[in-house]
Structure 1
Amino acid sequence: MSQSEADIAYANADFIPDAAAYPPRWEERAREWREVEHAVGRAQLNMPYGEGARQRFDLFYPAGRPEGLMVFVHGGYWRRFDNKLWSHFAAGAQAAGWAVAMPSYTLAPEARIAEITQEVRRAVEAAAARVAGPIVLTGHSAGGHLVARMLCPDVGLDPAVAARLKRVVPISPLADLVPLMETAMNADLRIDAAEAEAESPIRHSPLPCPVTVWVGAEERPAFLDQARWLTEAWEGAELRIDPGRHHFDVIDGLADDASPLMKAVLGG
């Protein structure tokens, strides 16, 4: 695959109607959610899990005692966005009685993917220290990659935290990084053969934990392939293809506690 072919294969916005409207809409809804939740005392914002400027997470609580903790890790090809665009997607888990942690992380090219993986590990451990009970991990796109990596033994997730994992749901994950080496964005990512081997979840045997790989039926073929590759590589993993969903609206179900996606994440 040539660089131009790889760029087209992994381009999402070019194939989604009105794609440019999604980020500002996410940002506005997220801001409104944070303001309301903070005003009623259900949000702790900008809590540090490290010394870096972006090593912060927001924690949203349900109305009563949390059933457990959901961690959502955002996407953006490890190069864009932060946790402030997604706050409203905590709504589904909160309504179901769960606390929700949403971390930011240092972006490429300032950080390599291997470094981002370790930041997310620390964020998960820091959030777990604040909320008792079972833990579920979910993330979208690059965030799907990062939550899948938490199940890889080489990451070194605290054994006490790993023992609390109930379910991991990578949404539209990047499971094999080799194809991304041929894209123009690799100028920022700097994935080489060694990092592609080490950081691709499909090249690891995961810790024991139920895994559901979720992907939209209308996504780019490359993302459908990536979802299948992870499901095939990880024995026991389930593949769910969400009808009618593309790469940007595939996460909408996180805002609704009755959605199939939310039930998959929480194991309902």
Structure 2
Amino acid sequence: MTDLDDAYANMPYIPGGADYPARWAEAAAAYRDEAMMVQVGYGPGVRRQIDLFLPMGGQKGLIIFVHGGYWMKFSPQDFSHLARGAVEAGWVVAMPGYDLAPEMRIEQITGLIAMAVAELARRFSGPIRLVGHSAGGHLVARMLAPGMLPEEVASRIEKVVPISPVSDLAPLLRTSMNATLRLDAAEAGRESPVHQPVPGVPVQVWVGAEERPVFLEQARGLAEAWACPLTVEPGRHHFDVIEGLEAESPLLAAVIA
């Protein structure tokens, strides 16, 4: 293991870290049992499906949540429960799936999320907010790159909340995970949100105070590059920082306020 492998390893440094994926899957399945959920596709393949969670009554707008897992793991079905807070507040929540590395390079995954956002914009009117965690934080930040989305879609995005995002991909070139990600220096540069122009959309970067130092650096780097607010949430680490999306909390307020 290289020093950077250790720096980007979350599970060994979180108490009970190995238990979180099973806990997420169980909570997600329980929420799907009670929620109004439908599934739509945005392209060929079993992973190019979007889980939609619908509120009772009127709809305030659309929130698109993109999951993490270093572009290599998980699916929307592992995080369904994170829709609860916004749905109860009257928002439609969409969770797009995407093909994973090594079958897809990161820039191809970015393209898939852009396709999913455009498909959702076609199906739903009103404002759009984007939120993503870790690799998903990277992916929602990439949606603000010039020309990434059709102008009629980009103009409807009114806020983006990258949670614990990977905003500079260059360090990943020196990790063992790059055997799967297959990044080269050129792609890492193109895919790093810190190198994008400052967006004209409000952005709130969020990270847990107890996260690994590199994730604090990644979050600060994006906030500094984009001159946008950064919240370092006390007592939260990389796995539980997303739990605020389940109910009324400062994080949920940042997304829906």
Q: Is TM (by shorter chain) over 0.5?
A: yes
Tell me the amino acid that sits aligned with residue 38 of structure 2: Q
Structure 2 residue matching 1:153: 3-state secondary structure: coil
Say if 2:174 is the partner of 1:182. yes
Other-structure match for 1:75: 68
- Aligned residue runs from structure 1 range 96-175, under 5 A: 96-154=89-147, 156-175=148-167
**In structure 1, what is the Cα distance between the partners aligned to 2:86 and 2:213?**
29
Structure 2 residue matching 1:50: 3-state secondary structure: coil
Kindly state the Cα deviation for residue 127 of structure 1 after the two structures are TM-superposed. 1.6
Percent of residue pairs bearing the same amino acid type:
55
Structure 1 residue matching 2:2: 3-state secondary structure: helix
**In structure 1, what is the Cα distance between the partners aligned to 2:126 and 2:213?**
37
Other-structure match for 1:192: 184
**In structure 1, what is the Cα distance between the partners aligned to 2:150 and 2:85?**
27
Other-structure match for 1:84: 77
Kindly state the Cα deviation for residue 52 of structure 1 after the two structures are TM-superposed. 2.4
The answer on whether the counterparts of 2:164 and 2:208 sit within 8 Å (CA) in structure 1 is yes
Q: Of 235, 239, 243, which residue of structure 2 is paired with 1:244?
A: 235
Alignment TM-score, normalising by the size of structure 2: 0.98
Aligned-pair RMSD on alpha carbons?
Answer: 0.9
Kindly state the Cα deviation for residue 91 of structure 1 after the two structures are TM-superposed. 0.5
Structure 2 residue matching 1:129: 3-state secondary structure: helix
Other-structure match for 2:48: 55
Tell me the amino acid that sits aligned with residue 30 of structure 2: E
Kindly state the Cα deviation for residue 125 of structure 1 after the two structures are TM-superposed. 1.2
Kindly state the Cα deviation for residue 36 of structure 1 after the two structures are TM-superposed. 1.6
Kindly state the Cα deviation for residue 43 of structure 1 after the two structures are TM-superposed. 1.2
The answer on whether the counterparts of 1:227 and 1:239 sit within 8 Å (CA) in structure 2 is yes
**In structure 1, what is the Cα distance between the partners aligned to 2:80 and 2:150?**
26
Q: Unpaired runs of 5+ in structure 2?
A: none
The answer on whether the counterparts of 2:159 and 2:202 sit within 8 Å (CA) in structure 1 is yes
Q: Unpaired runs of 5+ in structure 1?
A: none
Structure 2 residue matching 1:251: 3-state secondary structure: helix
Kindly state the Cα deviation for residue 51 of structure 1 after the two structures are TM-superposed. 1.0
The answer on whether the counterparts of 1:70 and 1:138 sit within 8 Å (CA) in structure 2 is yes
**In structure 1, what is the Cα distance between the partners aligned to 2:58 and 2:111?**
29
Q: Of 44, 51, 54, which residue of structure 1 is paired with 2:38?
A: 44
Other-structure match for 1:94: 87
**In structure 2, what is the Cα distance between the partners aligned to 1:137 and 1:238?**
16
Kindly state the Cα deviation for residue 11 of structure 1 after the two structures are TM-superposed. 0.4
Other-structure match for 1:33: 31
**In structure 2, what is the Cα distance between the partners aligned to 1:89 and 1:67?**
18
**In structure 1, what is the Cα distance between the partners aligned to 2:138 and 2:10?**
16
The answer on whether the counterparts of 1:153 and 1:206 sit within 8 Å (CA) in structure 2 is no
Other-structure match for 2:7: 9
Aligned residue pair count: 257
